[in-house]
Amino acid sequence: MTDPEHVPWPPEVADRYRALGHWRGETFGAWLSGLAAAHPERTAVVGRTGPVAQRWTVAELDDRAHRLAAGLHDLGVRPGDNVVLQLPNVPEFLPVVFALFRLGARPVFALPAHRGTELRHVAEWSAATAVITVDAHARFDHGALARATADAVGSVREVVVLDTGSGGTTAGTAGLAELAAAPARELPARDPGEVAFLQLSGGSTGLPKLIPRTHDDYLYSVRESARICGLRPDSVYLAALPVAHNFPLSSPGVLGALHAGAASVLAPAPDPATAFELVEQERVTITGLVPPLAAAWIDAAGRTTRDLSSLEVVLVGGAKCGPELAARIGPALGCRLQQVFGMAEGLVNYTRLDDPDELVLTTQGRPISPDDEIRIVDPDDPAAPSDALVKPGRAGALLTRGPYTIRGYYRAAAHNATAFTADGFYRTGDLVRRRPTGHIEVVGRVKEQINRGGEKVAPAEVEDHLMAHPDVLDAAVVGVPDEYLGERTQAWVVPRPGGAPTGAVLRRFVRERGVAAFKVPDLVEIVPAFPVTGVGKTSRRELRAALQDRTAAGTGPDDEE
Ligand code: OOB
């Protein structure tokens, strides 16, 4: 099924990726059936649905996915439909996504942290026909959020809720368990070149963009990730981070584990107490963490009575893991560190397990594929880039193109014109340097995005929320260095004449507008006016840069509230 909103690879490039064996013409549905036929009795997924412990084999997962596909079809979900999925780390995540893959309906992967603003946006943007969620998780009523999203977005016809007994809203929704009781039946095979799902971008210009990934391209990255991370049938992968994110999903993640015939354990939360118990119980061999979480695990490992000796590999990525932190991970957790620098748009880099320590500690790895094309260009004017290559070894803006990197965001023609070069390279917005070995070191960024410990914040989005407050005349949001998170967010706010907003009031205001908690500014500083440039006009970019300098120079406040 071709989709007019999807920018495909040029036909001759697609042919090349097929000829090279990167794209194998396999769909996720057929892939899972193949795994179930090859080793039906292996454990695929371990986790909890509310208080109920679950342990499903590959055959059981395959069967649940088949039945759920039939149940969702009976509910009216059709090929080509987009379905917003907001599930925490529950075992049902896997059968739900495979059911949608089989139907040719596309999960839109919201994170559990997302709230009304984000859910409405992605549901509207994707013209979603359904929302699938959990009743409640971490004391938040996701069922009510999904219902509110359906009420606000005309295209959403159905809300499906996984009842975990956690007390959230299930009234007016369809039950996931009931749908999974449908008898399995054959559905028409899907085209491996079509969009299988939509990931969300971290965003830099505003609300998240939708990232269309095909069966062919994603399965290639999954197979190679499993190999590069050394997954074996007896490996046990712990999904500590939210599993809908690209990192725990496929780097190598639960899909890489499935590919290798290994089990995945879904942690309901990533904190050391929860995770260490699971490591001990399930003899976890491999997991993936963002840097602040790695630091928290290191601290806790010094005090724990849990047996962590099964851990072999810990991947760290999502944000820069500096050499000091990197050097502590292996000794503290008794494992090999593997750095990963990836993006939902495609390109993923890993340090290799047999790389010398120096590269593992000081670089973010090299690309998965020999056919990942890397260009490092002059980071001159981001608004009018020359894309001139920098000298080898010099830092520059990273552009990339390859067999699993998208050629365009979904339904975003205007944005695509600047986010991609004319010849199809994605402008990652990352500032990098490359070693002669091909390893990449991330040294900064050119995009207007704050990386708050791996969680991505678009300054413009937060500024818009602040400016909705009646006492706010203007607002600018910047990232400031933070020892633990790498970066935290600071908002500078100019009040309206007569208005006297406080930081606490504005932070609550942003939260109550229904946004992910990680987007609420960590610090709010009220100032009478913003600096202006010589001509008296200030671009957002210049203003943010000036405020960032001011904070760095220590002329800004150290603390607030
Ligand atoms: C991962 O994916 P996203 O889409 O949430 O964020 C991508 C961005 C990159 O462009 C880069 O700015 C930053 O996150 N990033 C890193 C990094 N890994 C990601 N910056 C510095 N060092 C790293 N190691 O974050 C993601 C996707 C797949 C695997 C791992 C991470």
More confident residue, 510 or 546: 510
- Tell me if 500 is assigned to some domain: yes
Query: How many A from CA of 320 to the centre of ligand 1?
Result: 8
5 lines ligand 1 (CB under 6 A): no
- Tell me if 303 is assigned to some domain: no
Nearest-angstrom CA–CA distance, 492 and 501: 12
Which of 384, 386, 359 has the alpha carbon at shortest distance from 375?
A: 386
Percent of the chain exceeding pLDDT 70 equals 97
CA distances from residue 538 to 533, 544, 545 in whole angstroms, order as listed: 6, 10, 11
Percent of the chain exceeding pLDDT 90 equals 91
Out of 343, 398, 442, give the residue to mutate to test ligand 1, the one with the largest number of ligand atoms within 8 Å of its CB. Answer: 343
> What pLDDT was estimated at residue 1?
64
- Tell me if 222 is assigned to some domain: no
The pLDDT tens digits for 35-90 are 999 999 999 999 999 999 999 999 999 999 999 999 999 999 999 999 999 999 99
State the DSSP H helix or E strand holding residue 462, giving kind and residue range, or none if neither.
helix 459-467
445 lines ligand 1 (CB under 6 A): yes
> What pLDDT was estimated at residue 382?
75
Query: How many A from CA of 526 to the centre of ligand 1?
Result: 32
HSE of 340, CA atoms in CB hemisphere, 13 A: 31
Q: What is the token pair recorded at 286? A: 């491999």
**pLDDT of 229 higher than 80:** yes
Pick the range with the lowest mean pLDDT from 277-286, 425-434, 524-533: 524-533
Report the pLDDT averaged over residues 172-179.
96
Which atom of ligand 1 is found nearest the CA of 344?
Answer: 4
Work out the pLDDT band at 205, boundaries 50, 70, 90. confident
Which atom of ligand 1 is found nearest the CA of 430?
Answer: 12
The pLDDT tens digits for 2-35 are 788 999 999 999 999 999 999 999 999 999 999 9
**pLDDT of 535 higher than 70:** no
Decide which of 157, 190, 223 is a domain's last residue: 190
> What pLDDT was estimated at residue 545?
82
> What pLDDT was estimated at residue 392?
95
> What pLDDT was estimated at residue 287?
99
The pLDDT tens digits for 386-430 are 999 999 999 999 999 999 999 999 999 999 999 999 999 999 999
- Whichever domain contains 549, its CATH number is 3.30.300.30
Query: How many A from CA of 398 to the centre of ligand 1?
Result: 13
- Tell me if 212 is assigned to some domain: no
> What pLDDT was estimated at residue 131?
98
Decide which of 174, 190, 206 is a domain's last residue: 190
Which atom of ligand 1 is found nearest the CA of 340?
Answer: 24
- Tell me if 288 is assigned to some domain: no
Nearest-angstrom CA–CA distance, 303 and 362: 28
Query: How many A from CA of 343 to the centre of ligand 1?
Result: 5
Query: How many A from CA of 363 to the centre of ligand 1?
Result: 13
Under 8 Å between Cβ of 241 and 290: yes
**Rounded-to-10 torsion of CA 96, 98, 99, 101:** 120
490 lines ligand 1 (CB under 6 A): no
Residue with token string 């996931």? 176
CB-based contacts of 505: which residues, under 8 Å, 6+ apart?
Answer: none
Q: Which domain holds residue 92?
A: 28-190
The pLDDT tens digits for 212-221 are 999 999 999 9
Work out the pLDDT band at 206, boundaries 50, 70, 90. confident
Residue with token string 């549905």? 29
- Tell me if 293 is assigned to some domain: no
Query: How many A from CA of 201 to the centre of ligand 1?
Result: 10
Decide which of 158, 190, 222 is a domain's last residue: 190
SS3 118: helix
Domain count, the chain: 2
The pLDDT tens digits for 107-164 are 999 999 999 999 999 999 999 999 999 999 999 999 999 999 999 999 999 999 999 9
- Tell me if 275 is assigned to some domain: no
Q: Whose CA is nearest to atom 3 of ligand 1?
A: 343
- Tell me if 312 is assigned to some domain: no
**pLDDT of 169 higher than 50:** yes
Work out the pLDDT band at 561, boundaries 50, 70, 90. very low
Work out the pLDDT band at 560, boundaries 50, 70, 90. very low
348 lines ligand 1 (CB under 6 A): yes
430 lines ligand 1 (CB under 6 A): yes
Query: How many A from CA of 432 to the centre of ligand 1?
Result: 13
Query: How many A from CA of 449 to the centre of ligand 1?
Result: 12
- Whichever domain contains 160, its CATH number is 3.40.50.980
pTM of the model: 0.96
> What pLDDT was estimated at residue 147?
98
Looking at every residue in the chain, the average pLDDT score rounds to: 95
203 lines ligand 1 (CB under 6 A): no
Work out the pLDDT band at 384, boundaries 50, 70, 90. confident
The pLDDT tens digits for 425-476 are 999 999 999 999 999 999 999 999 999 999 999 999 999 999 999 999 999 9
Nearest-angstrom CA–CA distance, 296 and 291: 9
- Scanning 22-168, the segments in alpha helix (DSSP H) are 28-38, 58-75, 93-103, 116-125, 142-152
Which atom of ligand 1 is found nearest the CA of 345?
Answer: 4
The pLDDT tens digits for 327-356 are 999 999 999 999 999 999 999 999 999 999
